Amino acid sequence: MSRQDARLGVDIGGTFTDVVLETRGESFSTKVLTKYDAPEQAILDGMQAVCAKAGITPHDITQIIHGTTLATNALIERRGAKTALITTEGFRDVIEMRTESRFEQYDLNLQLPEPLLPRQMRYTVPGRIDATGAELIPLDPADIEPVVEAIALAGYESVAIGLLHSYLNPAHERLVRGVLAARLPDVTISISCEVSPQMREYERFNTVVANAYIKPLMKSYLGRLEGRLRETGVDCAIFLMHSGGGIISLESAAEFPVRLVESGPAGGAVFAAHIAARYGLDKVLSFDMGGTTAKICLIQNQTPKTSRVFEVARSYRFKKGSGMPISIPVIDMVEIGAGGGSLAHVDSMRQIRVGPHSAGSEPGPACYGRGGLKPAVTDADLVLGKLDSDNFAGGSITLDVTASKSAIAETLGAPLGLDDMTAAFGLSEVVDENMANAARVHAVENGEDLSEYTMIAFGGAAPLHAARLCEKLGVERLLVPPGAGVGSAIGFLRAPFSFEATRSVYMTLDGFDAPTVRSLLSELQSEATAFVQICAPDADIIAEYKVYMRYKGQGWEIPIALTPAQANAPDAALFKTLFEADYARLFGRAVAGMDIEITVWSVNATTPPQDTPLTEQSDGERSAVMKGKCTFFDAALGAKQNGYIFPRDTLRVGDIANGPAMIPEDETTIIIPSSRRAIRQPDGCIDITPKEQDA
């Protein structure tokens, strides 16, 4: 066997670590409980398991692609390094003042999220760069040394440097870094002109602070991971999935760990986009529900929607502005604390609340028998009959129904006077409604009607809840692809090598300077290409160009795509035509007589996408042969229903399974409610639609 045949995808989640090995045209996968004190151990255990299934050794693996929620969890749980911020005099409180926007204007008791660093951990230096990039006030090394001494005395592990307008002129930030590095060589340093060279001080400062905050943690973890893999005989290249949906080198990931904030969910979006391409679907709602969080993403024309700013840990009903903004290229999605391990409680209003706190893998839901005492979503699923206690996670974990009932009764049933089944139904319905609300908000923010979309569900818990979400959202069609339980890890193996370089250079179309534009885009193209060549030195690399434009006076821009020819021969009239066409498509009409300005320039260097042929589709040929009977609670009917079990590996192409039914597999279980039917498609997808469509 050629070593070129073996590629490993690894996704560390808050509860499970998913491992997928593709070799010789076959796929082998497993789920291992994540180990918080040594997350790399779960990777090693999972790798050994799939290698044994495939009959190869770790030495035979030729490529490892890894994504993780460790960076996200460190930010959400505030478990980063002791970090200081050095900024310009007068701007010490930018990350605390935020944008002064009230994301809920009628809430008189509104509480803004706390900044990542309190005021005493923020320092200032004199010197000033103006909005054109010119030096307004010089900065001398002597002005920096007192701040460096204070940082040395306080014992900081990491330092973020964010100075005014450094995206135009980085000289002062580099000077501060030089003085700091000379005095404190063991302290990790992040500078905003490299982490996020974009306008808007609050977002840029917050991003460089986040990068510095998680950098020691991620650098240590990635170093340990590489060392442990080498000890097992792995000698191949190791890459990381980044938040924008591409792959970067281990070294780049260690230097810019903030780009890993949404690496696991980004892999899931790539996976869903790949399925959408196979089915020729232009409007897809990607639904990824794991053990700790649920992620929802809109995919249009087989491409995940992207953004330049992402909010981590939205704290107020999923609203924009209530989270921690990270200004990096990212796949745009909403993420909430709703997973199989999300814990439930009764609040002061005697209402059931679920999440954001999670049981994770240690101790896990009560049914894991590892010491968990509070009810989680998985406990409710088990009590409602949606899980087989003897065959959870491929039989690696035996679930304790009695423990689930006890936890639900004590935490929910007793305070509310509910029996076990009703309390479990309440828990499940609350978490489903939370996810449905998040999807509705995300769709409204993007001006989309979800009834026009097809849902693609994956992640260990998503197939259990997806059909109910479709009922709530009015979504007609649901696809659950093969390997759904480890979908993000499969997505890593479908992703291209890519890196997006951005820069803020303000320019109006009235003052359009074609030579400057051409030079700027060429520099960005070279920068982005250099990062990709580190990962794939012999691969073909294509450049995707975008400019972010708006009418003068507006607060936010829209992205305008350019072809390579348009980027090489920039023209103001062409830019105007492109902008007005996209603006009219988004908002109904263009605005006459207003000057147009460009704020951000972007080039994404990427290897070409994989060819994805359309799959054949079956309308259903015969009734599936049931392999057992089941009883589970159907939320839409509010009662238990008797149904049949159709193990996924026994379904033939064209088999029809009418709900109520369960389709179990090693890594998840698909629930087909009474309102739906399922067809096994030629590529292995389970295609779920309302029964009334049969007429």
Which tens digits make up the pLDDT trace of 286-336? 999 988 888 899 999 998 888 877 777 666 655 666 677 888 888 888 878
What is the mean predicted confidence (pLDDT) over 439-447?
A: 86
What is the mean predicted confidence (pLDDT) over 271-282?
A: 94
Of 458, 467, 459, the residue nearest 685 (C-alpha)? 458
C-alpha 244/C-alpha 196 separation (Å) is 14
Helix (H, G, I), strand (E, B) or coil at 115: coil
Q: What is the pLDDT of residue 396?
A: 74
Contact 323, 334 (CB under 8 A): no
C-alpha 183/C-alpha 162 separation (Å) is 19
C-alpha 454/C-alpha 490 separation (Å) is 20
Q: How many CB atoms lie within 10 A of CB 138?
A: 10
Tokens found for residue 187: 């302290």
C-alpha 112/C-alpha 145 separation (Å) is 34
Residue 100: CB partners within 8 Å, gap ≥ 6? none
What is the mean predicted confidence (pLDDT) over 234-262?
A: 89
Reported as type and span, the H/E element at residue 490 is helix 487-494
Helix (H, G, I), strand (E, B) or coil at 553: coil
Of 526, 507, 652, the residue nearest 576 (C-alpha)? 507
Higher-pLDDT residue of 106, 182? 182
* pTM for this predicted structure: 0.86
- Is the per-residue pLDDT at 483 higher than 60? yes
Regarding beta strands 122-125 and 333-336, do their DSSP bridges make them parallel or antiparallel, or are they unpaired? unpaired
Regarding beta strands 63-68 and 669-672, do their DSSP bridges make them parallel or antiparallel, or are they unpaired? unpaired
Tokens found for residue 155: 């014992």
C-alpha 86/C-alpha 163 separation (Å) is 8
What does DSSP assign to residue 410? I
From first CA to last CA, the distance across the chain in angstroms is: 51
What is the mean predicted confidence (pLDDT) over 7-26?
A: 89
C-alpha 684/C-alpha 695 separation (Å) is 25
Tokens found for residue 242: 């980044």
| 412 CB-side CA count, 13 A | 31
What does DSSP assign to residue 612? -
Give the helix ranges, DSSP H, for 247-375: 250-255, 263-279
Counting every residue written for the chain, the total comes to 695
Peptide bond into 363 cis (omega under 30): yes
Provide the pLDDT confidence category of residue 2 given band limits of 50, 70 and 90: very low
Q: What is the pLDDT of residue 569?
A: 93
- Is the per-residue pLDDT at 435 higher than 90? yes
C-alpha 465/C-alpha 483 separation (Å) is 17
| Furthest-apart CA atoms within the chain: distance in Å | 81
- Is the per-residue pLDDT at 1 higher than 50? no
Reported as a single tens digit per residue, the pLDDT across 58-104 is 999 999 999 887 787 788 778 889 999 999 999 999 998 887 777 77
Helices 201-231 & 39-54 angle (0-180, nearest 10): 50
Q: How many CB atoms lie within 10 A of CB 120?
A: 8
Peptide bond into 356 cis (omega under 30): yes
Of 106-115, 355-364, 543-552, give the range with the top mean pLDDT: 543-552
C-alpha 95/C-alpha 82 separation (Å) is 17
What is the mean predicted confidence (pLDDT) over 110-134?
A: 90
| 671 CB-side CA count, 13 A | 30
C-alpha 164/C-alpha 128 separation (Å) is 7
Higher-pLDDT residue of 612, 465? 465
Helix (H, G, I), strand (E, B) or coil at 393: helix
- Is the per-residue pLDDT at 480 higher than 60? yes
Provide the pLDDT confidence category of residue 682 given band limits of 50, 70 and 90: very high
Classify residue 619 by burial, with Cβ atoms within 10 Å: 0-12, 13-18, 19+: exposed
Question: For the ranges 30-39, 204-213, 573-582, 674-683, which has the lowest average pLDDT?
Answer: 30-39
C-alpha 338/C-alpha 361 separation (Å) is 15
Contact 199, 56 (CB under 8 A): no
What is the mean predicted confidence (pLDDT) over 34-60?
A: 90
C-alpha 44/C-alpha 167 separation (Å) is 41
Q: What is the pLDDT of residue 695?
A: 39
- Is the per-residue pLDDT at 392 higher than 60? yes
Contact 455, 470 (CB under 8 A): yes
b/e burial code for range 562-590 (CB count within 10 A of at least 16 → b): beeebbeebebeebbebbbebbeeeeeeb
Of 616, 301, 274, 338, the residue nearest 453 (C-alpha)? 301
Tokens found for residue 498: 């890519």
Peptide bond into 537 cis (omega under 30): no
- Is the per-residue pLDDT at 4 higher than 60? no
C-alpha 567/C-alpha 545 separation (Å) is 7
Q: Amino acid identity, residue 345?
A: H
> Considering the chain, what is the average pLDDT of its residues?
90
What does DSSP assign to residue 538? T
Regarding beta strands 558-562 and 26-33, do their DSSP bridges make them parallel or antiparallel, or are they unpaired? unpaired
Question: For the ranges 48-62, 73-87, 631-645, which has the lowest average pLDDT?
Answer: 73-87
- Is the per-residue pLDDT at 694 higher than 50? no
Quickly tell me which residue has 């003042």 as its tokens.
97
Contact 14, 335 (CB under 8 A): no
- Is the per-residue pLDDT at 111 higher than 60? yes
Q: What is the pLDDT of residue 417?
A: 95
Contact 161, 179 (CB under 8 A): no
Residue 263: CB partners within 8 Å, gap ≥ 6? 67, 68, 69, 71, 240, 241, 242, 243
Of 430, 495, 488, the residue nearest 459 (C-alpha)? 488
Of 455, 447, 440, the residue nearest 317 (C-alpha)? 440
C-alpha 649/C-alpha 642 separation (Å) is 22
C-alpha 78/C-alpha 545 separation (Å) is 36
